[in-house]
Structure 1
C-alpha cells in the first residue's frame, strides 16, 4: 500500500497505537517487532479490541480487510509520520543534547502553549519509534510541534531529522553521555551536531546559548537566534540558584521551581524561544514559574525531616558533576546517594573514580556509592561508603540514620535509585 493511501486511512482513525494492551476504539495499530516479540501476532487481537485498522508485514496475519499488509511496519510508521508532517506543514522545533533535553522540552512546551496549540514529545519518546509517534499525535489543530530527539550513536540524529524535518533546532549541550556509542566526547559533539548539519544548509533557524562556546562555533555560519549574554538577541541572566533558579529577563524576575544552576540554561532556552515566537512576557514568566519537575528529574520531595532531591532519571559524568557542585551549596547536613553511570565504555573506570574524588573533596557530610562501577573505585575518606548493588545497600545500610538532612539521589536509569525514596 502506498503511503498516500495509508495516510487517508490514518486520518479516519482516532490515534496510532503500538501496544494492544492500550488499544482504544478507532486506533490504527502498528505491529512492530522486537527482539522478544512479534507484533504481527497481535493484529487480530487489536481489531477485536476496537482498532479500526492493523498494519502488519507478514502475509500470514493479513487475514481480514482491515488488516493492512506492508513491506516493513517500522519503515511504514516512519514514512507515514514524515508524510503527515508535510501534510500539516506546521513549524517543528527539534531539540537534542547530552543533558536537560526533557526538562527543556517541557519548559518550551509550557511557554509556547500560552499562545499556541502545541503538541510535544510525551515523556522521553525520543527515538526512531517515539519521534514518528509524536508526529502522528499531531492534528490540524496543532500550531507548533516540539520534538525531542535522543541518540547514543552516530547518524541517529540525522535519521530523526530526516523523519521530522524540523524548521528550528536547539542543542542543550555537549556532555559526557553515551561515550561508548559515540566514541568519546568528540564523537558526542559530532553526533549531536548532525542536527546543525540538517538545519544549516536548509536555511533553518537554530537557537543558540551564547554562553556555550561549542554552540557558538558550530553555528557561526547559520541563521541563529541567540540568548544569554548582553551580545545575544535576547539577554537572560542568572540571579540566584539557591535553592531554586531565579532569572532576569526584560526587567522581569522569574522565580522557577527548579533547583541547580545547571537548570538555568534550560529555563533560558524556553524564555528565548517564547520571546522569538512573541509570547507575552508575563505569560512566559507564569509558564516558567508554574512548571514543576516530575519523573525523577530534579524533583523535590519532603519526607518528615528529610528534603530529597530526586534526580534519578539518568546520569552521566557531566550531569553528575553539575548535580554535586550544586548540592554542595545546600544548607544543613548533606547526604549524597550516587548510582553507577552507564554507557561509558572504556572511560567507565576513570569517570567513576573522578566522581568519587570530586564528591569526597566537596563539603558533603556523607556519600554513598552504589553499583559495580563505583564499587571498583578507590574511596579514601571516612565519610564515604560503597555497595556493589542496591540490594546490598538496602540490606546493610541503616536508613534510620538519614534524618534532619538534605538528600541527593542520582544515578543512571538502570540503577532505579528512586527505590531509595520507597525504602525511606
Structure 2
C-alpha cells in the first residue's frame, strides 16, 4: 500500500477537546462542535461539513477573510488567530501557522509505533524519497511526502495524514530559510535522518554553501538518541556535517563510507552496480539513469538499513522503484526520445542531467530553463553552466531559455564549443528553433532533455514541441 498519492482511506477523526489541547487554543464563546472533525484543511475551496478550516495568514493574503464563506458551504469549524464575524465554531489560537505545526506534532506523537526517516539535501531528495518509498511500502503501509510538501506548512500537513496502520514514514524536509529544518525535524521526530549533499540550491537565501550546510545540519538535532545519523562520505562539507551529528550511531554513504557502490555500469535508461554495505554485498539493477542516481540509491540503502530493513528487501525495492513525474521520465515518440526532467533544477542536477543525455542515442539536444533562488551568484552560476554544458562531449546542441540565457551564452562562448548553444529569452522564441532542428536532422533520431526550475514550466515547451513534430 503506497500512499504517495492522496489516500481515500478516512483519516483519524479529531475531537474538539483534542484540537484545543494540541493547539493550546480555546473555543470562542465556549462554542465547540459536538461531533468529531474528520479533516483539517487550509484550502477554503475544499472545506465542507465535518472539516475544520485552518485560516493561514501570509504576507499577501489572509484566509480569515474566507471563514464566512466556508461557513456558508457547510463547514462548522474554523481555527483562527482572532475571532471573526461568522456563524461557525471558532478555535482561537495564538498563531495559525504554528497551530498547524502543533497539530502535526500531536498526530505524530499519537503514532508511537511509527518508524520515521527524515531527509534533506540540495539535490536528489525526491528521487531518494521515492526509492525509500518503494523499499518500505512493500513491507508495510508507509506515509511518503507528496509532491513538494516539504516546508513548514507542508510537513505538518503530511503528518495530519498519519493513520494507525502506518508503520513507516519517509519525510522530505526542504529549507528555504534558516531555522526551517530545525522546526520541521522537531515535528517529525525521526529515528533516522540525514543530509544527501550540500549544493547551490537556495544560495541567495543563505549567503553561500556554508550557510546552506548550517541550515540543513539542523536536522541532526532532533534524531532520537538511540537513532542513526546519515552522513554523505564524499561531500565537500562532510566534516562540517559530521560535526553536527549528535547520535552515537552514524552511517556514511558514498565513496569511503559504510554503504557505497562499485563496478558501476551506466546505461541509457538504467544503471548496474554492486551495493557494498556492512550487512553484505549485492548486485543491483537500478531502473534509473545517471551516476547521481546510483548515489541516491546508496543513500536510500543507508537510510533503510538504519531503520532495520534487510539487504534483500532493499535490493528488491531499489529494482522496482519508479521515478517521480518530471524526474528523468523517458518518453519515446516515433524515432525521437524526450526526457522530461522538468520538475525542478539546480546547478548540480543540471550537470547530472547533461551526463544522462550524453548516454542517449541520435542527435542530443539539452533544453535548459533558468534556475531560480541563486541570489547574487545567479548570472555567474548560469555562465558556468553554459561553459560546462557545451563542453559535454556527446551533446550536440544546448538551447538556453529565459532571463539568464544571455549569461549561459557568454559561458558557452568562453569555450571552443560556443556554436553549440542558442539562447532565447522566451519559450515562444525557442520553439521555432527546436522545430527547425528536428526538420534539419530528419530522418535521424534525436534525444531531447528538458529541465529548469519549477517556475519556468519547461514541460510546456516540451509538450508543444512534441505536438508540432
* Same fold? TM cut 0.5: yes
Question: CA separation in 2, counterparts of 1:162 and 1:277?
Answer: 18
Whether the 8 Å CA contact 2:234–2:256 is kept in 1: the answer is no
Write the mapping of 1:264-413 to structure 2, written as runs, cut at 5 A.
Answer: 264-363=294-393, 364-376=395-407, 377-378=409-410, 379-380=412-413, 381-394=418-431, 397-398=434-435, 400-401=438-439, 404-413=445-454
Question: CA separation in 2, counterparts of 1:385 and 1:354?
Answer: 15
Which secondary structure state, in structure 2, belongs to the residue aligned with residue 193 of structure 1?
helix
Write the mapping of 1:199-278 to structure 2, written as runs, cut at 5 A.
Answer: 199=223, 202=225, 204-212=227-235, 214-215=237-238, 218-219=241-242, 222=247, 223-228=249-254, 232=258, 234-237=259-262, 239-243=264-268, 244-249=270-275, 250-278=280-308
Which shifted more, 74-83 or 23-32? Answer: 23-32
- Give TM-score, length-normalised by structure 1: 0.90
Which secondary structure state, in structure 2, belongs to the residue aligned with residue 258 of structure 1?
coil
Whether the 8 Å CA contact 1:208–1:216 is kept in 2: the answer is no
Which string of whole-angstrom CA distances, capped at 9 and with x for unpartnered residues, describes residues 346-397 of structure 1? 2112111111111222221111111111224414322211001222223555
Whether the 8 Å CA contact 1:33–1:39 is kept in 2: the answer is yes
* Partner of residue 190 from structure 1, selected from 185, 196, 214: 214
Whether the 8 Å CA contact 2:368–2:450 is kept in 1: the answer is yes
Which secondary structure state, in structure 2, belongs to the residue aligned with residue 119 of structure 1?
strand
Distance 1:73 1:389, change over 3 A: same
Distance 1:257 1:24, change over 3 A: farther
Which residue does the alignment assign to 2:107? 84
Offset, 1:53? 2.6
Offset, 1:231? 5.7
Offset, 1:19? 1.1
Which residue does the alignment assign to 1:28? 52
Offset, 1:324? 1.8
Which residue does the alignment assign to 1:74? 97
Q: Which runs of 5+ in 2 are unaligned?
A: 1-15, 24-32
CA RMSD of aligned residues (A): 2.8
Distance 1:231 1:362, change over 3 A: closer
* Partner of residue 128 from structure 1, selected from 149, 152, 155: 152
Q: How many pairs are equivalent?
A: 421
Which secondary structure state, in structure 1, belongs to the residue aligned with residue 84 of structure 2?
helix
Q: Which runs of 5+ in 1 are unaligned?
A: none
Question: CA separation in 2, counterparts of 1:280 and 1:21?
Answer: 44
Distance 1:113 1:125, change over 3 A: same
- Give TM-score, length-normalised by structure 2: 0.81
Which residue does the alignment assign to 1:166? 190
Which secondary structure state, in structure 1, belongs to the residue aligned with residue 267 of structure 2?
coil
